A = this chain, B = another copy of it.
């Protein structure tokens, strides 16, 4: 996976396609499928050896979505459909507590380990089921996608439904995460199931609502920043948590919004996404060592998290998508340069050229911190999603090019 020497869209498309289909997905097909108990095993050592058999429900949904998406958009390969089904069926059999809320982790055979307050297992299960319903016509998958999204919306946005971490009487806070994931989940449901209603809004209306909330409460022109958490009227909370910016997260939000603008032909949405990209690229890019910092403080004060300056795989995947999408939507040379910059840094530091896939966690200067290829968070998702999205985008640009 060496970086291409030109920014020619056809070369880029071929590069991303090759990395996806000849390196990354084969790694997960070879090592990440539990052929005995079903579902995905993603706690893998450098060479793909399973180093922990516990299963992440996030990863079951993310993996099933990725395999179903490749089946739907690249080629109707039986092994991809089987892998998607394996994740879907594992969630059906073992994912949920009696009340329907999904676990965070379970054992290899599916016995409950951890339940968490929040509902990201549900958002990933929703997109997995939506893509799987499209692939198979399976009615239960279509129904489950809606059911999981309804649970996600309920816990994320109904006041008092989720137990808060910080006393809401003393310091009411709201996070951008639920809006961001709500946008991406609604986009996937709409793509596969049509613009259906879930709860009191259609998918497009949920997207409108969350983007409006992001713009109204989390976007701070006076700071040129997108906040992670704010007070109930969008107040900046001038404490560690309130000041902590997550540039990778913001760049992911930026491309979700640009993608929506592109689908609708809505330049206002595209400009909003570009604004977030512009501000958070400047906040996140490490001018000294290259790469995207994990956390930054709004006022440049010390960040509480001691590992704030590490370089994780996923913010780089999101930055590669955001910059390429911005470039394709605007033709602006600045975005081409940023795309090249983060692409080159990422492909110079994250890939394991000997054993395949990417390392997940690098020190600030790009040295590998952890040799493993996956864990309860890192599985077949951010990296293959980026390669798949950027391949298709580059191909589109190549076709549209004069």
Interface residues, chain A, CB within 8 Å of chain B? Answer: 43, 45-46, 51-54, 106-107, 111-115, 165-167, 169-171, 239-240, 301-304, 306-310, 312, 360-361, 363-364, 369-372, 375-376
Contacts and interface: CB of A to CB of B under 8 A. Distances in A.
Best-buried of A112, A113, A167, A376 by chain B (most CB within 10 Å) = A167
Best-buried of A111, A239, A361 by chain B (most CB within 10 Å) = A239
Best-buried of A52, A171, A360 by chain B (most CB within 10 Å) = A52
B166 A240 contact: no
Contact of A363 (B45, B169, B302, B363): B363
Given A52-B240, A54-B239, A239-B54, A308 B171 contact: no
Given A51-B301, A302-B370, A167 B113 contact: yes
A168 to B, nearest CB: 10
State the number of copies, please: 2
A370 B303 contact: yes
B43 A240 contact: yes
A307 B372 CA distance: 13
Nearest to A375: B304
Contact of A307 (B53, B239, B306): B306
Contacts of A312: 306
Nearest to A44: B302
Contacts of A113: 166-167, 170-171
Contact of A306 (B106, B107, B304, B360): B360
13 contacts: A45-B301, A52-B239, A54-B239, A107-B170, A111-B170, A112-B169, A114-B167, A302-B370, A302-B371, A302-B372, A304-B376, A306-B312, A363-B364
Nearest to A377: B304
A167 B166 CA distance: 24
Best-buried of A106, A107, A360, A370 by chain B (most CB within 10 Å) = A370
B306 A370 contact: yes
A111 to B, nearest CB: 4
B304 A307 contact: no
A45 B169 CA distance: 28
A363 B306 CA distance: 9
Given A307-B310, A361-B306, A375-B304, A112 B167 contact: yes
B45 A302 contact: yes
A83 to B, nearest CB: 24
A165 B114 contact: yes
Contacts of A111: 167, 169-170
Contact of A171 (B107, B166, B369, B370): B107
